[in-house]
A = this chain, B = another copy of it.
């Protein structure tokens, strides 16, 4: 009788946990990952202890291959880290559990990568148009048309510069301060 109660209880706790994991994973698409990968992260986060690929495969009832690739993705996003425990030969992984860190890292790593590539393309285009503009035989109307595009490219470049400054700010201590101050003010 007591035993059944025990089982019920841990099952309840388990279900509650699963609901939260599901909720978190459903919304990790904001980080560009699929729900399955989100579920894996959630599992690792709540498990606390590091897990092996076989643990994960067992827990999520999925293939080992999936676990391998998923955990790789999570590592690239700095959401999961390798762990070591003496006497265990298998690879161990544990969740990075500092969500503030995950959030700011995401921008630094993913968004910066993207803006860098975009800037490159825009700079290239801008310099090509500049060269076109050198042609003295260009009609006034052509010149205007090209200038319109060039203005847009310049606007984009300025935006990306601003964005990178913003990401620097995100990584700085300043961010925590500013937001913290806001929270404290509101408590008053």
Binding site for B on A (CB under 8 A): 6, 9-10, 12-13, 16-17, 19-20, 23-24, 27, 29-30, 32, 45-46, 48, 99-100, 103, 110-111, 114-115, 117-118, 121-122, 124-125, 128-129, 132, 138, 142, 145-146, 148-149, 152-153, 155-156, 159, 161-163, 165-166, 168-169, 174-175, 178-179, 182-183
Q: Hey, which chain B residues are within 8 Å of A48, CB to CB? A: 148
Asked if A179 contacts B162 (CB within 8 A), the reply is: yes
Q: Which residue of B lies closest to A119 (CB)?
A: B23
Asked if A129 contacts B16 (CB within 8 A), the reply is: yes
Known: A48-B148, A100-B159, A162-B179. 20 other contacts (CB 8 A): A9-B132, A9-B138, A9-B142, A13-B132, A13-B145, A16-B125, A16-B128, A19-B124, A19-B125, A20-B153, A20-B156, A23-B121, A27-B115, A27-B117, A27-B118, A29-B32, A30-B111, A32-B32, A46-B149, A103-B163
